[in-house]
Structure 1
Amino acid sequence: MSLDIYIFNFLHQLAGKNVFLDGFIFWSAEILPYVFALVLWSWIITRTKNYAERKYVILIGVIGIVSAIISRFLLVTLIRLFIERPRPFVELWLTPLFSHEASTSFPSGHAAFFFALVPVMFLLSRKAGWVYLVVAILMGLSRIIAGVHWPSDILAGALIGLAVGWCIMRYALKIHKLLR
């Protein structure tokens, strides 16, 4: 048995045992990362002292969104053209915890999108960065438990998102400093 299947089976056994846990898994997989991104960014904006700081925070937020979009809609889509991997619920004939199309699963678009925001959060606030990293990991684990992704899908998506987020953040900040 491959490590991917072993980890998947270990985590997926948590699904369908308790209606409250299932609800939390759905919420963590589909809703929580969006809510936390907005809450943390809003919290950071309200803590800024002046217009220049606020403008900088908004710029960093826009760079983060661009990083997330490039990760998910450019790189993941491009990789999926060459790697067609069935989702666990298709390959193992399982019922996923929530409705999901039977499209290719590698790499995870959700993981790529939300992990691309992690470098942004760390840049704005270490505390927000750690909180959002935990939220992104929880989202990834929840998608495995729900039966819609393999662990390697989440890992690959997370690495893509972190790499793109870090690279774009680094170069965008250099350009921003040059334009000042």
Structure 2
Amino acid sequence: MFALLQKLDATLFEFINGLSGEIPFFDHFFRFTALYSSTIFALYLVRLWFWGKEKELNRRAALRATLAAALGLMINQIIGGIFYRPRPYTVLPAHLLIPHTGDASFPSDHATGSFALAFGLKGRLRHLPAGILLAFAVLVAFARVYAGVHQRPAAGGPGF
């Protein structure tokens, strides 16, 4: 069963990453998203902290989201250290659209941070629907696979 899930995982990675290199607009869009999503979220948190009509509400939301992301990233480091999963480009043919690192592929720091920030801000802000933040987090996770540096986690555990 685990071998079947690993095969499905590799097939999905190859399908999503195989889309890269076909349409330059999408390559640029997903490359930008994969590289700069953290900066986009950081700028949004700065905006919440310094501007807006409901400064106190915005600041509490920004702080809560930042703490959620920090906690998620700390947990990621522990999981990545225990269940090291190689980057997909080291074991599968891949189109790499962005610079890569040699650290663990799963769990993804970018996806974890994006979802933690989105859920930390969810329901706390009146000017931005939570669905937009969650959709952006999904976009970040997809972009990282599209760019070749991550793959979705295999059900049943990390690794190939």
Query: Is 1:147 aligned to 2:152, yes or no?
Result: no
* Counterpart mapping for 1:4-153 below 5 A: 4-36=9-41, 38-39=43-44, 42=47, 46-48=51-53, 53-72=54-73, 74-125=74-125, 127-152=128-153
C-alpha displacement of 1:47:
4.6
Per-residue deviation, residues 110-131 of structure 1 (Å, max 9, x unmatched): 1111100112322223643111
Aligned equivalents of 1:29 and 1:43: distance in 2? 23
Between the aligned residues of both structures, percent identity stands at: 28
Report the aligned-residue RMSD.
2.4
- Check the 8 A contact 1:33/1:139 in 2, yes or no: no
Decide whether aligned partners of structure 1 residues 124 and 38 sit closer, same or farther in structure 2, where only a CA change above 3 A counts. Answer: farther
TM-score scaled by length of structure 1: 0.72
Aligned equivalents of 2:106 and 2:66: distance in 1? 21
Runs of 4+ in 1 over 4 A off after TM superposition: 43-47
C-alpha displacement of 1:5:
1.2
Structure 1: segments with no counterpart, 5+ residues: 157-180
Per-residue deviation, residues 85-137 of structure 1 (Å, max 9, x unmatched): 11110111434111101221111111111100112322223643111111110
Please tell me the residue identity of whatever aligns with 2:28. G
TM-score scaled by length of structure 2: 0.80
Task: Compare the two structures and name the one with the higher helix fraction.
Answer: 1
Which structure has more relative contact order (CA 8 Å, sep 6+)? It is 2
Aligned residues: 149
